[in-house]
Structure 1
Amino acid sequence: MSLPFAIIDVFAASPLAGNPLAVVQGGDELPDDTLAAIAGEFNLVETTFVLQATLPGATRRLRSFTAAGHEVFGAGGHNSLGAWLWLAQSGRLELKERRTDFTQEIGGQLFPLSIDATPGQPIRVTMAQSPARWGSQVEDLAGLAASLGLAPDTVNGDGPPIQVVDTGAGHLMVALRDREAVDAARPDVDALGAILRQSGAEGCYVFSLDPPSVETLAYARFFNPTMGIGEDPATGTAAGPLAAHLVHHGFASPERVVIEQGTKLGRPSLIEVEIDGLAVRISASGVIAAEGKLWL
């Protein structure tokens, strides 16, 4: 059998930037270990399978796996944004000239999204994440800094609390002194993984509030040793919590928070988030970089 696939660069305006995602159409009948093996074959941060919906009201069902074989849930990450960008750009959806609303099924839950197909503009997908929730704080900042390969004084005590924030996935938000400290981070996978597990977090989002552009508020990198991900070039499920965290503590206005990520990896990405109370919405455009067939 063969299945069509594409590689789409999410949070990018041109190919070979942003966060590359493998999207496979079909595979409903394949067992989980085969889906995980396909994700390993692509060896990208995540691979998303676009499947037939099983819940009433859903347009499509999505399942996403990391290259290490872990299934990923929740909406508003590049794995779901990229799948809908591909569906829209490849003509697999009926779109109005401006906003069209859809519903996606992920992990037995329904999540709304909208697609803006304004003529002359890049197609843009916007979706809601779960309402922001705040979890545990990390008090041992010296130990945390050491796990990131940094000196203790690089953790910014004047920034928002070093805390787990969840808008669908719980990640540890770590404010660092400046952009140079963010770029200097070299995590000890075992030490950082232990801190994340102890705090109830999945990944670690290090950031500073001195980005190189006036259009962006934060400069960030994402590490997720608990899911076998060394570094991710653009992480919607971490950008949403960070934007909520910054707004909650008075470091940002809620209308529009733009976060730069991926620059250190040579995959520059801009992630746009809107906050309304506890509600979090994330938007992305992207480009199809490759298409083909997967033979099984």
Structure 2
Amino acid sequence: MPLLPFSTVDVFTETRFGGNPLAVVVGGEGLSDAVMQAVAAEFNLSETVFVLPPADPAHTARVRIFNRTEEMAFAGHPMVGTAFVLATADADLGTATFEIPAGIVHIEVERNAAGVPVGASVAAPQPLSLGETVPPEVVARMLRLAPGDILVTAHPPILASVGNAYVIAELDETALARCDPDLAAFRETLAEYPQFGTRLSVHVYCRQGRTLRARMFAPLAGTWEDPATGSANAPLAGLLLSLDPAAEEARFEIHQGIEMGRPSLLDVTARRTPDGIRATLRGTCVPVMKGEIDCG
């Protein structure tokens, strides 16, 4: 197996060493799933992607996304970061279409006045779907909070997805700062709710109008906390739009990663469409490293 080129980029930030880091490996068609997973574990980032030839030649690439422990159907910052890396190598790339397990992702590359890529806008592959609700005390137990810290006036904790499911709950600002994931409680909750999948990801937020602060925890997948989670903030925006029946569209500025020292900024818009509520997320990127990896 030849050496494969890789890049790392920080996503949803304009500052190097902020945002959410991503490893992008170009190639690897001959690699087994186990080797790809091992490479992702080696990078030890929230996600690592492999850019492969598309099944449909009209598309840009097939992209496989791995967290530290398993492959993912969809993730937001890998879509933004992968488009940024490909656009850096191809001055003519203005739009991209990625094949991922959750469906087809359409992306618009953003460039500055000099034509240098600075980020991307990503349309989530699926409309918003809402699943079962979760008792507030269950979320509180996983995050070492009191049940009263979970706000239920707007909505109870609920499973939501646009391609990757999260339990979403609203907190106030002080409770958001006090979140402290309890690994044993996550395991106990997964045993009680196996339908939530092996990752059992919890996304919590506080709100001031259209400005949100968020934190995401998925310790069972090796991500104790994530600096920026596009695939969680997209359904969050969709959920909030669904609670406002008079609105056709809602745009949110979402800050994440503050408590980790990796501040991130996501611009997420949810819209009502004929097939349901659709979300688009955008963000900027900063290149960090380049190199080659020996997968043999």
Aligned-residue offset at 1:160: 2.5
- Give the whole-Å Cα distance in 1 for the aligned partners of 2:141 and 2:246: 28
Equivalent position to 2:211, from 209, 217, 222? 217
Aligned-residue offset at 1:272: 0.9
Work out whether 1:28 is the aligned partner of 2:29: yes
Aligned-residue offset at 1:133: 0.8
Query: Does the aligned pair in 2 maintain the 1:114–1:125 contact within 8 Å?
Result: yes
Figure out how many residues of one structure are paired with residues of the other and give that number. Answer: 283
Q: Give the alignment's TM-score, normalised by structure 1.
A: 0.88
Work out whether 1:134 is the aligned partner of 2:130: yes
Aligned-residue offset at 1:73: 1.3
Q: Unpaired runs of 5+ in structure 1?
A: none
1:168-179 superposed matches below 5 A: 168-176=163-171, 178-179=172-173
Work out whether 1:282 is the aligned partner of 2:277: no
Query: Does the aligned pair in 2 maintain the 1:124–1:284 contact within 8 Å?
Result: yes
Give 1:248's aligned residue: 242
Equivalent position to 1:228, from 222, 225, 230? 222
Which amino acid is the alignment partner of residue 116 of structure 1?
Answer: E
Aligned-residue offset at 1:134: 0.8
Give 1:106's aligned residue: 100
Query: Does the aligned pair in 2 maintain the 1:53–1:60 contact within 8 Å?
Result: yes
Give 1:291's aligned residue: 290
Which segment drifts farther, 105-114 or 235-244? Answer: 105-114
Equivalent position to 1:143, from 138, 143, 150? 138
Aligned-residue offset at 1:108: 7.7
Which amino acid is the alignment partner of residue 26 of structure 1?
Answer: G
Q: Give the alignment's TM-score, normalised by structure 2.
A: 0.88
Query: Does the aligned pair in 1 maintain the 2:28–2:52 contact within 8 Å?
Result: yes
Which digits, 9 at most, give the CA deviation of each residue in 1:244-288, with x for residues without a partner? 111211399634211110011100001111111101111121010
Query: Does the aligned pair in 1 maintain the 2:76–2:231 contact within 8 Å?
Result: yes
Give 1:87's aligned residue: 86
Give 1:207's aligned residue: 205
Give 2:18's aligned residue: 17
Aligned-residue offset at 1:52: 1.2
Which amino acid is the alignment partner of residue 265 of structure 2?
Answer: L
Aligned-residue offset at 1:289: 0.9
Give 2:64's aligned residue: 63
Which amino acid is the alignment partner of residue 222 of structure 1?
Answer: M
- Give the whole-Å Cα distance in 2 for the aligned partners of 1:173 and 1:220: 10
1:157-172 superposed matches below 5 A: 157-172=152-167
Query: Does the aligned pair in 2 maintain the 1:164–1:199 contact within 8 Å?
Result: no
Query: Does the aligned pair in 2 maintain the 1:81–1:125 contact within 8 Å?
Result: yes
- Give the whole-Å Cα distance in 2 for the aligned partners of 1:159 and 1:231: 25
Quickly say closer, same or farther: Cα 1:12–1:291, change in 2 above 3 A.
same
Aligned-residue offset at 1:199: 7.5
Which digits, 9 at most, give the CA deviation of each residue in 1:214-250, with x for residues without a partner? 8x61111001134332111100000001111112113
Aligned-residue offset at 1:10: 0.3
Aligned-residue offset at 1:111: 2.2
Query: Does the aligned pair in 2 maintain the 1:246–1:252 contact within 8 Å?
Result: no
Which amino acid is the alignment partner of residue 73 of structure 2?
Answer: F
Which amino acid is the alignment partner of residue 208 of structure 1?
Answer: C
Work out whether 1:117 is the aligned partner of 2:111: yes
Q: Structure 1 vs Structure 2: percent identity of aligned residues?
A: 33
Aligned-residue offset at 1:132: 0.3
CA RMSD of aligned residues (A): 2.2
- Give the whole-Å Cα distance in 2 for the aligned partners of 1:193 and 1:219: 26
